[in-house]
Amino acid sequence: MFKKLLIFKIIFFHLIGINIFQVKKTNAFIPYYYLPSKKFLKLKGSEIGKNAYQLLYFGQLKEGLALAKLAISLNPEDVNLWALLAEAQINNKLFDDALSSIEKGKLINPLVSELYFAEGSIYLNQNKKQKAKKSLKQGLEIQPKNTNALFQYGNIFLMEKNYKKALSKYNEIIEIKANFWQAINNKGLIYFEQDEILLAINNFTKAIEIKKNAESLLALGVSLKDSNKKKSILLVREALQKNPNYVSFKFREEQLWGEKLQKATEELFKLEELTKDISIANLYKN
């Protein structure tokens, strides 16, 4: 039986060997693998990057970050994807990771303004004003008419109470984009601190005409508290209904409200006519 079995094995492996070593003719035993080209991977990376941007835009921050990481793994040479990844990391408060992504992007192309603007945003968030100004300045040298970057630059000067330079930046923005209501509103914040109440009222009113926003409504209400109490109360109510967070001193401080405007707001909030509105806003803030 052993002999028969041995002969059978020899014949069996001989037949198998014939089939295996004739693969050039038949391809019968070799599986086919598709290896995508570099061009294909780049295209896929860009496509996934667009999807990641959409997710970030609609507030799906974790999902957007995951897709941005996938996109960069497919196309690590795309500087725009590094900028996108940094944005996703900033949105997820991964600031150190974002700074690392920005540096990698700069190595590919140091002339992409978005990298410097993102870097400036991070430093501003970390209250590193001088570093933020340096990054924003570098970005603006590449893209001098970027209104969002100019606005951040102006806000740093506002934080430093350098009102002259802040106004200069805000005016520069308005020359480029006349309906940039945030810059107009912030001019009003400055004028209130300088006791230029009529100029403050004028700017808050202009900002509201462009967009009926809670900040300008409340600031205008506060500015009118001595000259038109009835209208002042109506404006405050409307503002707090739009955004109850403005009832908070800390929240207004984060929006760069100065000491004088804050004090006037707290005084206005003590009015008996606003007691109910203040209570409701405190319930719904955050």
Here the tokens at position 84 are 């996108």
Residue 286: pLDDT band with limits 50, 70, 90: confident
Whether the predicted pLDDT of 271 surpasses 80: yes
Q: What is the mean pLDDT of residues 93-117?
A: 96
**What pLDDT is recorded for position 53?**
85
Band (4; pLDDT cuts 50, 70, 90): very low
Lowest mean pLDDT among 67-81, 101-115, 188-202: 67-81
Separation of alpha carbons 52 and 128, rounded Å: 29
pLDDT at 31: 56
* 26-41 confidence digits (pLDDT tens): 444 555 555 556 666 6
Output the pLDDT for position 32: 53
Residue 11 confidence (pLDDT) above 50: no
Instruction: Please say whether the beta carbons of 157 and 183 come within 8 A.
Output: no
**272 pLDDT higher than 60:** yes
Using DSSP's 3-state secondary structure scheme, residue 261 falls into helix
pLDDT digits (tens, 9 = 90+) for 215-225: 999 999 999 99
Q: If you classify domain 179-286 with CATH, what class do you get?
A: mainly alpha
Report the alpha-carbon distance of residue 198 to residue 188 in Å, rounded. Answer: 9
Confidence (pLDDT) at 30: 52
**Dihedral, 200, 201, 206, 210 alpha carbons, nearest 10:** 100
pTM above 0.75, yes or no: yes
Specify the amino acid at residue 189. Answer: L
- Rounded Cα–Cα distance for residues 69 and 254 (Å): 31
Q: Given a cut of 70, is residue 18 above it in pLDDT?
A: no
Residue 10: predicted pLDDT: 34
The reported pLDDT for the residue numbered 22 is 44
DSSP state of 204: H
Q: Average pLDDT of 6-15? A: 37
C-alpha span between 260 and 239 (Å, rounded)? 19
DSSP run (H or E) holding 14: helix 2-20
Please report the pLDDT score of residue 264 as a whole number: 98
